[in-house]
Amino acid sequence: MWGRSIRIARLSGFDVKVDASWLLIASLVISSLATSYFPASLPDGQPMTHLAMAFIGLAGFFASILLHELAHAIIARGQGVRNSGVTLFMFGGVAEMADQLPTPLTEVWIAVAGPVASLGLALLLWCGARLAATAGAFEPGAAVLSALSMLNLTLGLGNLIPAFPLDGGRVLRAILWMRSGDLVGATRCATRLSALFSALLILFGLFIIFAGDTAGGLWPVVIGLFLLSAARTSYRAVQQAAERDGRKVADLMSRDPCTARPDQSLSELVNQVFLDRGFTFAPVIEDGVVLGYVDTHMVLRIDRENWATTVVDDVIESIGNENAVSPDLPGRELFDRISRTGRRKFMVVVGTTLVGVVTLSDLVSYLNVAEDLQGLPA
Ligand SMILES: [Zn+2]
C-alpha cells in the first residue's frame, strides 16, 4: 500500500520522492480547506476562490512537509548519519536513513529536528497572517497564511505524538533503547504502543463519522491506518537487521567462566568467585560434568553465619532446559528467551560439557554496538 514512490527533485544532495499515499493526504487537505476552513474564514468568497486558495494552501503544505523532512535529514547528516533521501509520505514524511542510527541520543536529535522546524514555521506564518490581517492587506492571502500556520502546527504537534514511527515515537524508542541498550526490544515496545494509539485513533474517527461528520472523521481513520502499517514495517526492518546479523551464542558467550565445585563452601565461593573476581554467577562442575549453577541470589538466601558450613551442592540450581543453551542457538532466539523468561544468564553446554556462559550484557552489546548494525544491507 505504501512504497510506490516517485523521485521528483534533488535538494541539497537529497532525493525528494513522493509516495503514492501522498495523493490521499493531498485530497484530504484540499477538501478540508476548500469546503470548511476557507468558507469559515472568508464567508463572502466564491467556492471557486476557496478552491483556488486550497490549491495554493496545498502547495504551501507540500513545501512545509519538505522543510520538516529536510530538517531531519540535515541534522542526520550533521550527526554523521548518511541518508539517501526524503520521501513525502502520508501525514508528514519519512526521512530515509541509509544506515541504522548510531546512538539513541543521535536519534533524539534527528527526531526532534522536524517538529521544531514545523513549529517554528507555524509561528512565523502566524505572525505573517496577523501582520497581513492588521494591515488590512489582501484577505485571501492572510487566510492562506493562517491555514498554513495551522497545518504546520498540526504537523509539528501531530508528529510529536509518541506513536512509532512518528517523530515522538522515535524519541520514545530512543529513550527505551537508551535504558535497555536493546534496539529490537525498544522498537517492539514502541510499536505496540503505536498500535494501541492507532486503534484508538481509528475508533475515534469512526465515532466522528457515525456522529455525522464524514470529512472530519476520515482524518483520524486514515492516519490510524497509516500508523498501523508504518509501525509494523519499521519494526520488521529493525528485526530483520538484527536477524541478518546471524550471530550465534558461540560468538557472544564468554568462554572461560569462573566455575564452582559442589563440595565448595559458600564462604569460599563468595570470597574466591563472587568478591575476588566480580562474578555473580558460576556454573558448578564436577569431574568435567556440568551439574548446574549458583549465583549471588541463592547464596544470599542462606544466613551469613551458615556460609562456612553450607556447600554449593546444597543451594545449586540443577542444569535444565531453562538455564542452559546450545552454542548454536541464534543470538536472536536467545534474546527472545531472555525477554520471555526474564532470565539473564545461561550456561552454554554441549552434552554434559560446559563450553561457556552467555549473559544479557553479552547480548546487549551485540544489539547495541553501532558498528554491529552499520553496513548491513538495507
Ligand atoms: Zn518528522
How do residues 232-249 score in pLDDT, each as one tens digit? Answer: 777 777 776 666 566 778
| CATH 3.10.580.10 domain span(s) along the chain | 249-373
Reported as a single tens digit per residue, the pLDDT across 83-130 is 555 655 544 445 444 445 567 888 888 889 999 999 999 999 999 988
Give the span between the Cα atoms of 286 and 296, in whole angstroms.
20
CA distances to 20, 74, 93, 170, 181 from 371, rounded to whole Å, are: 34, 22, 27, 20, 14
C-alpha of residue 145 to centroid of ligand 1, in Å: 21
C-alpha of residue 359 to centroid of ligand 1, in Å: 36
Lowest mean pLDDT among 122-136, 209-223, 257-271, 327-341: 327-341
pLDDT greater than 50 at residue 5: yes
Give the span between the Cα atoms of 292 and 28, in whole angstroms.
64
Q: Kindly report the average pLDDT of the chain as a whole number.
A: 80
Residue that wins the pLDDT comparison between 177 and 60: 60
Q: List the grid coordinates of 124.
A: 512565523
The partner residues of 240 in beta bridges, in order of sequence, read none
- The residues whose Cβ lies within 5 A of ligand 1, an ion, are 114, 159, 167
C-alpha closest to that of 354 among 311, 271, 293, 264: 293
C-alpha of residue 68 to centroid of ligand 1, in Å: 6
C-alpha of residue 221 to centroid of ligand 1, in Å: 20
- Is cis: bond before 165, omega within 30 of 0? yes
- Is cis: bond before 115, omega within 30 of 0? no
C-alpha of residue 256 to centroid of ligand 1, in Å: 47
Q: Are 284 and 316 in contact (CB under 8 A)?
A: yes
Give the span between the Cα atoms of 312 and 291, in whole angstroms.
11
Residue that wins the pLDDT comparison between 283 and 247: 283
Q: Are 87 and 5 in contact (CB under 8 A)?
A: yes
pLDDT greater than 80 at residue 18: no
Q: List the grid coordinates of 255.
A: 568462554
Which CATH number describes the domain made up of 249-373? 3.10.580.10
C-alpha of residue 65 to centroid of ligand 1, in Å: 8
Instruction: Give the β-pairing of 85-88 and 93-96.
Output: antiparallel
C-alpha of residue 366 to centroid of ligand 1, in Å: 29
The partner residues of 83 in beta bridges, in order of sequence, read none
C-alpha of residue 50 to centroid of ligand 1, in Å: 29
The DSSP element (H or E) to which 17 belongs, if any, is strand 14-19
